[in-house]
Amino acid sequence: MTRGTGTDRRAVSSTVGVVLLLGLTLIGSGLLVGVGSVAISTTQETIDVDRAEQSMTQFDSVAAMVGLGQTARESVALRSSSDGQYTVSPDDGWVRITHHNYSGDADEELYNASLGSVSYRTESTVVTYQGGGVWRRNDGGGTSMVSPPEFHYRDATLTFPVVRVRNADSASGRVRAVVSRQGDLARVYPHPTESGTGWKTYDDGAKTYRNPVRNGSVSVTVHSEFYRGWAEYFRTRTTGNVTVDSANRTATLELATVGMVGSFDLPAKNQPVEVRGMASAHPIRTFEVSLAKANGGSNNMDFSFYATKGTQEYETVVHVPKGIGNYCSNGKETDLTMVVYYRDGTGGQHVWTNDSVPVESGPISLDCATETISVNYTSDLPLTYDGSGATGETALTWDDPVDSSASFNHTGTDGENVTFVPGDRTTSRHLTRHYLSFFAPDFDLTTWHGPGNSGKARLDVDESTGELEYETSSGSRYITFLHVTENNVTVELE
């Protein structure tokens, strides 16, 4: 066998080395080209989506001008790439507004309609105009708000002009969107009748679609691909109750109304007048009741309102003595009694009394013709801080010793800061405004009448009425005024 020379072996080795070097260079170049192409493609898509965001923000401004009636028709250029497409959909998403418990357990659906959308979509990202706002969502599921929707909340007032897209269309490449108003603005809430002489009514036929909104709560539910973005926006604008239903892709905001302001029917015994959204710092302006007797009569009757919250307790009692019927039949003089109790759980209690209220002319008075007792809790009736003359019939138990002093540590309201000692006087109005402010903003003012269990036969609650007026809170979880309109547009892509 013939062996090659050293020179031959060196020649072969050099050739192999060159081939390997060329191979590695080609592989490296291929990898660089591949990675670079992906990076360039990703960068280009990011640029395209960012441009689409800017275009959709401009579109949002134009759609607002048209939808809210500033102009009838506008157009705007929409940037895109060959990989992205614009689509217009009339059925994408919906909004529902409900007034819960407006009367007892009754609910009223105030509004329910589709939102529609205008979207720019690539393989990994979607940018959408919907509900008067612009939203962005990536494949990873992250949702962000590019510009806020037409949903405004301030000082317990919710304003929601619902901008609806009412047609379908699609286009890619260079696109111009033409936005046109469809029909006139439609009033949803408040909602006057077409004649302008009345108001649309709730299902009960009595309550009307007008402000202020009273009783229960109002919820706004949005079904959308961007429901999480809607939920986050609700949270940033209010401190109302916000819930998310991922299965149904909905976000719901619920705002409490400010409850009972004005006239009310007297609740049954141990049932409440609901106080909701009451402001702080002595907000009560008017508080009075008219108590109609039942068959059992009003002799030796005690009637009270009471409230509890944590360790705080309050009760104001009116006592009608025995023999009141004799007064009505033969004019025998008699007096009524008012007592106000309060404690905060730190030991001791406050007790204020007046056991000589003239039955015929005082802030607590009896109409013998109807045997109706009228009580004005915000009158100038004087009460004395000492505990004497207190009635033993109350809804709550008041067996703590009377505090040696009562300090009202407010400033600038009703003449406070002041400290009372036994024998000092102030008015029923002052006590009502002072003590009930501790329970704001939400509490139940519950009725009671006795003595014992006999009280349920003493008052005809169907014929008894009251009036409670107070300044309301503008806190960000309440609603007092609701303004909703429907604003329809069409979007044509050219």
Q: What's the pLDDT score for residue 27?
A: 63
Averaging pLDDT over each range in 33-37, 289-293, 322-326, 369-373, which range is the top one? 289-293
Pair of tokens at residue 202: 């709730």
pLDDT at residue 456 tops 70: no
CA distance 457 to 450: 9
Between CA 74 and CA 281, with CA 152 as vertex, the angle to 5 degrees is: 155
pLDDT in tens, 184-199: 999 999 999 988 789 9
* C-alpha span between 12 and 476 (Å, rounded): 85
pTM: 0.77
Strand-pair partners of 120: 86, 127
Residue 175 and residue 86 in contact, taking contact as beta carbons nearer than 8 Å: yes
* Cα distance between residue 255 and residue 480, in whole Å: 9
Q: Reply yes or no on whether the pLDDT at 2 is more than 50.
A: no
Per the DSSP assignment, residues forming a β-bridge with 481 are 157
Mean pLDDT of the chain: 87
Beta bridge partners of 87: 119, 170
Give the CB-side neighbour count of residue 455, counting CA atoms within 13 A: 21
pLDDT average, residue stretch 63-81: 91
What's the mean pLDDT in 284-294?
Answer: 93
CA distance 337 to 356: 6
> Among residues 359, 356, 357, 355, which one has the least CA distance to residue 332?
359
Radius of gyration of the chain (CA): 36
Q: Where are the domains of the chain?
A: 47-258+480-493, 262-470
pLDDT at 322 > cutoff 80: no
- Give the pLDDT mean for 462-479: 91
**What SS3 class is residue 32?**
helix
Evaluate the omega torsion of the peptide bond into residue 451 and state whether it is cis, within 30 degrees of 0: yes
- Note whether 141 and 150 are within 8 A (CB): no
Task: Compute the half-sphere exposure of residue 95: CA atoms within 13 Å on the CB side of its CA.
Answer: 29
DSSP, collapsed to helix, strand or coil, labels residue 31 as helix
Q: Are 454 and 301 in contact (CB under 8 A)?
A: no
Strands (DSSP E) along 409-474, which ranges?
A: 418-420, 425-427, 443-450, 465-470
pLDDT in tens, 91-113: 999 999 999 999 878 999 999 99
How many Å apart are CA 280 and CA 277, to the nearest integer? 9
pLDDT score at 167: 97
What mean pLDDT is predicted for residues 220-246? 96
Q: Determine the pLDDT at residue 262.
A: 86
Tell me: pLDDT of 320 over 70: yes
The pLDDT of 58-66, averaged and rounded, is 96
